[in-house]
Amino acid sequence: MTAPDPDLVTRLRRALDRDAAIALLARAVGTPSVTGHERAFAALLARELEAIGAEAVRLDDFAPGRPNVTAVLKGEGGGPTLMLLGHTDTVHVRGWAERWAGTEREDPFGAAIVDGAMWGRGTGDLKAGICTAVASAALLRAAGIPQAPDIAFAFIGDEESGEPGSGVSAGMKALTAAIEAGAAVRPDFAIYVEPTELDIYAAQMGFVICDITVTGRSAYFGVPEQGIDALKASHAILSALFAHSAALEARAPHPLVGSPFLLVTTLEGGGYIAVPGECRISLIMKLLPGDDLGEAVAAMEAAVRAAPVDPRIEIAFAYPAGRDHEFGGTPTETPPDLPAVAALVAAVKAVRPDRGAIKGAPYWWEAPFLSTRLGVPPVYCAPGDIRNCHTTEEHVEIEDYLDGIVAFAAFLAGFGRVGGR
């Protein structure tokens, strides 16, 4: 792993227009883009990409009124292509104004700077990442440094969950289909700009979300023999699920992602002075790189069906959160010794020696569409701290954001010379 020339980093720092970079992020945060309402922010990004000289800037609807943004910024040519991508949508802002009433943080889209950090919905997740991607390419030009790779930008909607009828990766599915059809650029390496505090997440967990409906028959409490107790059956099923989770947790942990598990998140049901006729159990399973979702689901369902319940009980399974897989999201891993990964680590450490560690993501994002569907190795890297995202405390440290721009620019200066794989 060869670190960038220190003179390169110094040159980039001197060329960085800090005020312009901060203003770019403020414009992004100041353009609301809660899931389902991404159009205005997508249009802003299209204008910003045109301003830095990108070609083939497109706004393509993946759903009515909800566009993805794609563009290509040509480099010296002849080498691998890099994709910088992230999602344009944010979670809701319910409760934000109440939390900060009467303070400079009250407007969730106000981009207030307080104690060296910009506050607002989307600052960390992930408008700082998107602005880092755009500003880093602009910084190379400002510094007069050749850009080695062609850069494919892809900013997509519908990543976040929580809004009705959305949050199913519709934007990423449309982008993947376009790449498969040859209508969009197929990269050799990709950086998804989710917040990592400028560490490099080379692996991520997979997940399965399952809703189990346990159906018996309700009956008046005075004649319970006429009923079939769904709550009693659910108790046995819960015991089976907890035992299954213990077996998962007993597996050897993944060095970056940790141990798998099953977590029961909801139990609903009961009867009013009556035998409970129906209960509902919701759960989420964490899976490790290399795990097969179909096999994981089959093992979980087998454990449930083996629970000692009344044979008249009916059990139904539903999987409401399919992303790249019908049952959920696939776990992924990109080899940390891949030349492009090593070059990104070196670029970040040249700017921030305390960052750039190889880690595993403690969540699921959309990288499997790249790795599993397209065979493109992805990593996550961007400024921002996931621990304050989706909350009324969401903010990003200004210096982390600016350092991210310099680090990305240093990486872009050399990527085409190290290759993507």
Question: Which residues lie closer than 8 Å to 131 by C-beta, 6 or more apart?
Answer: 21, 24, 25, 28, 401
Query: Do 79 and 222 have their domain in common?
Result: no
Please check whether residues 34 and 153 belong to one and the same domain: yes
In which residue are the tokens 């004649």 written?
A: 223
Domain boundary among 267, 288, 318: 318
348 located within any domain: yes
CATH code for the domain in which residue 258 is found: 3.30.70.360
Whether residues 61 and 140 share a domain: the answer is yes
CB atoms within 10 A of CB 64: 6
Q: How many angstroms separate the CA atoms of 55 and 178, rounded?
A: 17
Domain range for 156: 6-204+331-418
Tell me which of 270, 293, 318 is where a domain ends.
Answer: 318
Contact indicator for 166, 35 with CB cutoff of 8 Å: yes
Burial 76-115 (b: 16+ CB within 10 A, else e): eeebbbbbbbbbbbbbebeebeeebeeeebebbbbbbbee
Whether 278 and 146 share a structural domain = no
Same domain, 193 and 338: yes
Task: For strands 189-192 and 81-87, give the pairing.
Answer: parallel
> Read out DSSP for 256-325?
TTB--EEEEEEEEE--SSEE--EEEEEEEEEE-TT--HHHHHHHHHHHHHTS---TT-EEEEE----SSB
The C-alpha angle with vertex 262 and arms to 321 and 298, in degrees rounded to 5, equals 70
196 and 210 co-located in one domain: no
Domain assignment present for residue 325? The answer is no
Is 234 part of a structural domain of the chain? yes
Return per-residue pLDDT of the chain as tens, 421 residues.
567 888 999 999 999 999 999 999 999 999 999 999 999 999 999 999 999 999 999 999 999 999 999 999 999 877 899 999 999 999 999 999 999 999 999 999 999 999 999 999 999 999 999 999 999 999 999 999 999 889 999 999 999 987 887 888 999 999 999 999 999 999 999 999 999 999 999 999 999 999 999 999 999 999 999 999 999 999 999 999 999 999 999 999 999 999 999 999 999 998 889 999 999 999 999 999 999 999 999 999 999 999 999 999 999 999 999 999 999 999 999 999 999 999 999 999 999 999 999 999 988 989 999 999 999 999 999 999 999 999 999 999 999 999 999 999 999 998 876 555 5
Integer CA distances (angstroms), 59 to 50, 51, 62, 85, in order: 12, 15, 9, 14
Alpha-carbon span 205 to 380, nearest angstrom: 13
Asked whether 294 and 254 are in contact (CB, 8 A), the reply is: no
Same domain membership, residue 272 and residue 309 = yes
Q: Write down the pLDDT at residue 418.
A: 56
* Residue 79: per-residue pLDDT: 84
Domain assignment present for 307:
yes
CATH of residue 365: 3.40.630.10
| Of residues 405, 363, 1, 352, the one with CA closest to residue 199 | 352
Residue at 372 is within a domain: yes
Is position 1 within any domain? no
Answer yes or no: is 367 within a domain: yes
- Same domain for 185 and 213, yes or no, is no
Give SS3 for 381: coil
CB 237 within 8 Å of CB 305: no
Which residues lie below 8 Å from residue 295, measured CB to CB, with a gap of 6+?
none
Say yes or no: 246 and 97 in one domain: no
Q: Report CA-CA distances (Å) from 178 to 47, 181, 186, 330, 374.
A: 22, 5, 9, 21, 11
Q: Looking at residue 421, what is its pLDDT?
A: 56
Asked if 21 and 160 sit in the same domain, the reply is yes
Position 95 in a domain: yes
Return the pLDDT at 270.
87
Cβ–Cβ < 8 Å for 327, 319: yes
Q: Got the DSSP string for 169-232?
A: -HHHHHHHHHHHTTSS---SEEEE----TT-EEEEE-EEEEEEEEEE-B-EETT-GGGSB-HHH
Instruction: Identify the pLDDT of residue 187.
Output: 97
What's the CA gap between 106 and 349, in Å, rounded? Answer: 36
Residues 187/377, Cβ–Cβ less than 8 Å: no
Assess whether 87 and 26 both reside in one domain: yes
- Pairing, β 66-73 against β 150-156: antiparallel
Domain boundary among 318, 341, 366: 318
Dihedral angle over CA of 351, 149, 421, 176, nearest 10? 110
Q: What is the pLDDT of residues 350-380, one digit of tens each?
A: 999 999 999 999 889 899 999 999 999 999 9
pLDDT of residue 105: 98
Mark whether 160 and 263 lie in a shared domain: no
Predicted pLDDT of residue 163:
82
Q: What is the dihedral of CA 240, 244, 249, 253, to 10 degrees?
A: -170
How many domains are contained in the chain? 2
